[in-house]
Amino acid sequence: MKHALTQHLLVLRTALRRIFSSRLGGFFNILVIGIALSLPAGMYLLLQNAQGLVAQLSGTPQISLFLSLDAKPDDVDKLRRQLFQHPAIARIEFVARADALAQLKQSTGLADVIGGLQQNPLPDAFVIDPKPGEAQALEALRNELAKLPKVEQAQLDSAWAYKLEAMLKFARIVVLILAGLLSIALVAITFNTIRLQILTQSSEIEVSKLIGATNGFIRRPFLYFGAMQGLLGGIMAWFIITFSLLLLNYQLKALAQLYASQFVLNPLSWGDSLSLLLFSMYLGWLGAWLSVARHLSQIEPR
């Protein structure tokens, strides 16, 4: 066990030495990987922050329940209890028909016309703040509430919710496509790097096969090289994103003060940071594995 661990540590040290054998070249390889990874990861982070900002500015869409004109106080109380007990509702507000008519007089400037009405044409209403959810869930809640007793009409301000959800879905697809394309590019970079190493060490590999070395033994240093290069690229991407957020937050602070807001861009969470590092290491390992699998079978001892 100790001997196997020592061998792995030796291979790891050799891989790191190869990465930085040319310090400038190794640094630029890591920098290219970091920049490529930081683009989709940074867009994902900005998308997460934008989603929180839009939700903060727009708020949750409200559902207005207009009661029938013949609804009695007992009917209103019964409906209020039902709404309070509903798990998908965060807050409710009752607007009496008399209060609604008074607000209409003040807001429209038609006090004389409204005062000439023989009876109040406005119904009692409940204004409901549902818990945050997708547009389809809000629409389903509206349809459910519309079936309650004494509810004449249920209206959901869902137009902006559908637009926002469609925009966020589109942005997520863009991020996924960009991440997929750049991931393929990073695998190709590692593939070519390992291919060049195999070509320069083909004689050593042939000798190793002649003395009984297994493919796993030959493959190991290249896999370590690809994984470590990918991991270092992921670390570089994390630093690029973090530094960029510091610059953006510095400029955003002055802009937020103009709007009396405390909004700041949140950094990558620990979970997202770990996912970025593991994903980058996997891409490096995958590129190395594909390259070794492609070329190792072609190198046979003469």
> Tell me: the pLDDT tens digits for 246-281?
888 877 777 666 665 666 778 888 998 999 999 999
The tens digit of pLDDT for each residue in 127-159 reads 888 887 666 777 788 888 888 888 888 887 756
Is residue 153 a contact partner of residue 197, using CB atoms and an 8 Å limit?
A: no
Tokens of 28: 């630029």
CATH number, domain 62-157, options 3.40.50.1580, 3.30.70.3040, 2.40.30.30, 3.40.50.150: 3.30.70.3040
- CATH 3.30.70.3040 boundaries in the chain: 62-157
pLDDT digits (tens, 9 = 90+) for 202-253: 677 667 667 766 666 777 888 888 888 889 999 999 999 999 988 888 777 7
pTM of the prediction? 0.64
Alpha carbon distance 189, 226 (integer Å): 10
Q: Is 187 helix (H, G, I), strand (E, B) or coil?
A: helix
Distance set, CA 183 to CA 41, 83, 249, 283 (Å): 12, 49, 28, 7
Q: Where are the extended beta strands (E) located within the chain?
A: 63-67, 89-95, 125-130, 151-156
Distance separating alpha carbons of residues 51 and 168, to the nearest angstrom: 8
Q: What is the C-alpha to C-alpha distance for residues 81 and 93, in angstroms, rounded to an integer?
A: 12
Average confidence score pLDDT of the chain: 77
